[in-house]
Amino acid sequence: MKETLYVILITILKTALYFGILMLHVAYATYAERKIIGHIQLRLGPMVVGPHGLLQPIADIIKLIFKEDIIPSNVDKKIFTIAPLISLTAALSTFAVIPVSPQWFIADINVGILYVLGILGLGTYGIIFAGWSSNSKYAFLGGLRSVAQMISYEIALAMSIVGVIIMAESFNFIEIVNRQAQYPLGMFLFPQIIGYFVFLVAMLAETNRVPFDLPEAETELVAGYFVEYSGIRFSLFYLAEYLAMFCMSALATICFWGGWTIPPLLVKIFPFLSFVPPVLWFILKVYLHMFLFFWFRGTLPRYRYDQLMAIGWKVLIPLALLNIVLTSLIKYYL
């Protein structure tokens, strides 16, 4: 009994630490997004609060927390208040199984990948319930669009990872990373290049980012499913979206970029690289993917709805299936 309590206490402490680091990352991801898009559009981005606008995210958080939390009169109150919490819980609980380095994880479970895919799908419910309970046309349309989009792209996302699972022969994240370290390049990126492409596109669609941000298309739906939300509940949706982006980046890093390991080939050329701590490598690779998200937002226009569905069902899913067949054939004959 005492040991159980000890384990629970340690897990709570770890979770709190992890949570704090994640929140800081999310806050500064919004800052990075505004800066990067600003520079892409030849602007400076936020510059006023603090040196180079560095305190801007803190100011934003304070503003959002102290704003009035308005609940419109015609909404379904229970569902309306619970919806942002579902989104946030789903996005946060994926991080329970994502390892940052061989020693740094909260839980190391055998079916890590499946767990993350399943829990990420839960985030849809926050959006559906928000859209439905708001009792507003724009929110409702945003919710409908998001369900259709997420169901379609979840299939492609899950299938793109099957190739990695076949190569690693495991659902466990740590096992997958260790298996990649045996290759000279230290990553599944090149043998799984089709899978990575599918994953990258599906990743953008699953997190409702540009060019697939139809559920929150400003020009058509005002803001989509969270039009009626304000104050802290509004920011919970934003938090969930950015957490999902971080989760996707971490998933891409672990499954395709070799996680926290350094490519063995690079270590042979530059031996001093082996002194870099694994956590740093992991974070670097995650930031690369976050930069991709912002880069796409700065450069690509939004797709039309029928184009979105056509890409999902007619291009990505067949490509993912082809990838599975090719990987299994190569695995069987080598």
Partner 1 sequence: MSPLSIDQIFFIYFFLSLSLLSIGVIASRNIIHSAFFLLIFLLHVAAVFLFLNAEFLMAIQIIVYVGGVLALFIFAIMVMNIKDELKHRRFVKFAGSGFLVSLLFFAVFYVFLRNIRLETSKPLTSDTNMLGSLLYSYFLLPFEILSLVLLIALIAGILIAKKNPKEDR
Q: What residues make contact with partner 1 under the rule CB under 8 A?
A: 4, 76, 78-79, 82, 109-111, 114-115, 117-119, 121-122, 124-125, 128-129, 132-133, 140, 143-144, 147-148, 150-151, 154, 158, 171
Considering the complex, what minimum distance in angstroms separates the CB of residue 133 from partner 1?
8
Considering the complex, what minimum distance in angstroms separates the CB of residue 175 from partner 1?
12
Instruction: Considering the complex, state which of residue 24 and residue 111 has its C-beta at the smaller distance from partner 1.
Output: 111
Contact 195, 164 (CB under 8 A): yes
Considering the complex, what minimum distance in angstroms separates the CB of residue 253 from partner 1?
21
Please state, as a whole number, how many other Cβ atoms lie within 10 Å of the Cβ of residue 179.
17
Considering the complex, what minimum distance in angstroms separates the CB of residue 289 from partner 1?
23
Instruction: Considering the complex, state which of residue 115 and residue 281 has its C-beta at the smaller distance from partner 1.
Output: 115
Considering the complex, what minimum distance in angstroms separates the CB of residue 184 from partner 1?
27
Whole-angstrom Cα distance, residue 36 to residue 48? 16
Instruction: Considering the complex, state which of residue 5 and residue 334 has its C-beta at the smaller distance from partner 1.
Output: 5
Structure tokens at 85: 């919490």
Question: Where are any strands of DSSP class E within 228-333?
Answer: none
Angle between helices 137-168 and 112-133 (to 10 degrees): 170
Considering the complex, what minimum distance in angstroms separates the CB of residue 282 from partner 1?
23
Instruction: Considering the complex, state which of residue 110 and residue 274 has its C-beta at the smaller distance from partner 1.
Output: 110
Contact 65, 232 (CB under 8 A): yes
Provide DSSP, 130-171: HHHHTT-HHHHHHHHHHHHHHHHHHHHHHHHHHHHHHHHT-S
Structure tokens at 177: 């990373």
Structure tokens at 114: 């499946």
Instruction: Considering the complex, state which of residue 18 and residue 140 has its C-beta at the smaller distance from partner 1.
Output: 140
Q: How far is CA 167 from the centre of its chain?
A: 23
Instruction: Considering the complex, state which of residue 132 and residue 260 has its C-beta at the smaller distance from partner 1.
Output: 132
Contact 64, 55 (CB under 8 A): no
* Among the listed residues 257, 236, 250, 279, the one whose alpha carbon sits nearest the alpha carbon of residue 123: 236
Considering the complex, what minimum distance in angstroms separates the CB of residue 7 from partner 1?
12
Instruction: Considering the complex, state which of residue 116 and residue 243 has its C-beta at the smaller distance from partner 1.
Output: 116
